[in-house]
Amino acid sequence: MNSPAAVAQRQLDAYNARDLAALLATYAPDAELFEHPHTLLARGTEALRQRFAARFQEPNLHATLLQRTVAGRFVVDHERVIRTFPEGPGELEVLMTYEIVEERIVRSWSLTVSRILH
């Protein structure tokens, strides 16, 4: 069995590799993605596919794990994410919380701590 930390790491690795199939394989078919605390951004494989496929078009996309905390089925990753925003390149400092059940992410929440344009 894969631990919640291993599932979160597979998700992060697939994100950085822009491997949409591998990324979606880490999520349950009915997974939900929220902007913290309760703004629904995507629900289900097709909505996740569309969201991540669009994100993967950004030329400089990369997430760096700064710290990971695991508590039971929850994993909280503190990340620095390089992005291309409509107004130009920049970075986010983000807390990503993943709820993992049966080796799949069932819910995740993103909380942006800071946003900097370069």
Cis upstream peptide for 89 (omega within 30°): no
| Tokens at 81, concatenated | 């994410």
Strand partners, 90: 83, 117
CATH number at residue 9: 3.10.450.50
Measured distance CA(110)–CA(35) in Å, rounded: 5
Inform me whether the pLDDT recorded for 38 exceeds 90. Answer: yes
Q: How many domains is the chain partitioned into structurally?
A: 1
Q: Is 57 helix (H, G, I), strand (E, B) or coil?
A: coil
pLDDT tens digits, one per residue of 54-110: 999 999 999 999 999 999 999 999 999 999 999 999 999 999 999 999 999 999 999
Residue 1 clears pLDDT 80, i.e. is over it: no
- Residue 118, pLDDT score: 87
Domain that holds residue 15: 4-117
